[in-house]
Chain A
Amino acid sequence: GAGVSQSPRYKVTKRGQDVALRCDPISGHVSLYWYRQALGQGPEFLTYFNYEAQQDKSGLPNDRFSAERPEGSISTLTIQRTEQRDSAMYRCASSLGREKYFGPGTRLTVL
C-alpha cells in the first residue's frame, strides 16, 4: 500500500481483556515504531524494531505490553489484561531513513 496502515481503527474493550493492535508498514521500510498518545498530549515512544529485531522497548509502560514483528514487516502490539488507563491512541510509524511516516492510529477505549 501507499502508506502505513493500522487495524482496527477503533477498539472498545472491557477491562481485563487482551487486545492486539496491528501495524502494516510501508513496503521496504526497515524500522517500525509504536507510540501512544493520550488525550491532549503528544505521542510517547513505546518500542521500535529494525527488521524483526526489537531494538528498544524502554517505553513500554509495564509487562502487560508486548510487541512483535516476526517477519520484519507487519507488527502487533499486544496489551494483556487491559486497564482503563490504557485508553489512548496507539500510533505506528515506519521509516527507511530519518523521516518517520505515521499510520492513522488505533483508538483504544477500555471500559
Chain B
Amino acid sequence: AQSVSQHNHHVILSEAASLELGCNYSYGGTVNLFWYVQYPGQHLQLLLKYFSGDPLVKGIKGFEAEFIKSKFSFNLRKPSVQWSDTAEYFCAVTAISSGSARQLTFGSGTQLTVLP
C-alpha cells in the first residue's frame, strides 16, 4: 500500500519568508498528487493537483508544487508567505494502477504558522 510522509510537523515563518513543505510518497507506479489546505475553522480545500504533464504545477494563492518522479517527491512552495497562509497543509496521493485507485492516502499534515 502507498504511504505519504510529511517530515515537517510544524513550521513557523515570518511574513514574506519563502516556504517549502516536503512531501514524499512510496509507490512505484502512476500517481495523482494533491495538496490540501485547512484554514482554521474551515474544511479541507484543494490547493493544487498533479495528474500528468508539466511537473511544475501552480495552484491558488500563489502556491506551486513540483513533482520529481525520481525522488518520489511533491514539495509545496510559495515565494513569499502571508499571515493568511496560516493553516494546516496535507499532501495526498492516489495510486492509479493499484487496486485502491480511488483512495486518497494522506500525509500527517504540516501546521504552518506565519507571524505578522
Contact = CB atoms under 8 A, between A and B. Distances in A.
A25 interface: no
A78 B51 CA distance: 34
Contacts of B42: 104
A40 B105 CA distance: 15
Contacts of A103: 43
A93 B107 CA distance: 17
Contact of B102 (A41, A55, A105): A55
A48 B49 contact: no
A35 to B, nearest CB: 8
B105 A45 contact: yes
Nearest to B103: A45
Nearest to B90: A42
Nearest to B32: A98
Interface residues of A, number: 25
Interface of B: 4, 6, 32, 36, 42-46, 49, 51, 90, 92, 94, 100, 102-109
A103 B45 CA distance: 9
A42 B15 CA distance: 26
Contacts of A93: 44, 104
Given A42-B106, A42-B109, A45-B103, A99 B4 contact: no
Contacts of B107: 42
A100 interface: yes
B85 to A, nearest CB: 19
Contact of A42 (B32, B43, B45, B108): B108
For the complex of A and B, the 9 pairs showing the least CB-CB separation, nearest first, are A42-B106, A102-B44, A104-B43, A45-B103, A43-B106, A42-B108, A42-B109, A102-B43, A42-B107
